Chain A
Amino acid sequence: GGIITQTPKFLIGQEGQKLTLKCQQNFNHDTMYWYRQDSGKGLRLIYYSITENDLQKGDLSEGYDASREKKSSFSLTVTSAQKNEMAVFLCASSLTGGAYTEVFFGKGTRLTVV
């Protein structure tokens, strides 16, 4: 098996601040994802990447940048944190194999903006 490690676990930022979330996986998966989780809204895709240096926008990419520096790591940047924003950001990975592929998730980074 493998594991997805997200750092930090908790992130508190100031309004307008640029904040970076990091993710590492040791599954040797090609595809990695960032999802945002809000209570009552489910998980919404921010960015995904099917290989190193590839980036694809999801439904919620505005206000975020991403970077796939190498196969095992995928970073997400909140470009300007919004006051009172609270959400959990989930990193995930999978094989690049089509619709039947299982996606594996990390435990999340909880963001609070004051």
Chain B
Amino acid sequence: GDSVTQTEGQVALSEEDFLTIHCNYSASGYPTLFWYVQYPGEGPQLLFRASRDKEKGSSRGFEATYDKGTTSFHLRKASVQESDSAVYYCALSEWGNNKLTFGQGTVLSVIP
């Protein structure tokens, strides 16, 4: 079945540091890839998505590029802020299928 792997369980950074969270996927078809963010006390919310090879998704300074060759969708941000502290989930959905398959989540803590 489909699966999503996030390498980092927890990331601690200082403000203005560069962020990378690695996401690799396994799917039988050609999935749409998502990044969701969950702030404390809230449900996950969509950060952005991409559905084609080499497509870049972006929002609020975060970005990721769909790479079919390496089956990856790594999240990056050039300069993190304390307000970016949250849990980040990579996810995928296959065509003809309403279900999202999530990675394990990465807890980002940004120290001012």
Chain A residues with CB under 8 Å of B95's CB are 98-99
Dominant SS at the B interface?
Answer: loop
Which residue from B4, B44, B45, B93 sits with its C-beta under 8 Å from A99?
Answer: B93
Chain B residues with CB under 8 Å of A44's CB are 102
0/1 string, A31-45, CB within 8 A of B gives 1: 101010000111111
Asked whether B11 is an interface residue with its Cβ less than 8 Å from the other chain, the reply is: no
Asked whether A53 is an interface residue with its Cβ less than 8 Å from the other chain, the reply is: no
Contact B99 A100 (CB under 8 A): no
Which residue from B42, B49, B51, B104 sits with its C-beta under 8 Å from A42?
Answer: B104
Contact B32 A103 (CB under 8 A): no
Closest to B106 in A: A42
Asked whether A80 is an interface residue with its Cβ less than 8 Å from the other chain, the reply is: no
Asked whether B111 is an interface residue with its Cβ less than 8 Å from the other chain, the reply is: no
Which residue from A98, A104, A106 sits with its C-beta under 8 Å from B96?
Answer: A98
Q: In whole angstroms, how far apart are the Cα atoms of A48 and B54 in the complex?
A: 31
Contact A108 B99 (CB under 8 A): no
Q: In whole angstroms, how far apart are the Cα atoms of A92 and B42 in the complex?
A: 12
Chain A residues with CB under 8 Å of B96's CB are 98-99
Contact A42 B105 (CB under 8 A): yes
Given A40-B104, A42-B89, A99–B94 Cβ distance below 8 Å?
yes
Contact A4 B43 (CB under 8 A): yes
Contact A58 B43 (CB under 8 A): no
Contact B44 A90 (CB under 8 A): yes
Contact A101 B98 (CB under 8 A): yes
Contact A105 B98 (CB under 8 A): no
Chain B residues with CB under 8 Å of A92's CB are 43
Given A42-B104, A48-B99, A94-B98, A99–B31 Cβ distance below 8 Å?
yes
8 tightest A-B contacts by CB?
A: A105-B43, A99-B32, A99-B93, A43-B102, A42-B102, A42-B104, A99-B95, A42-B105
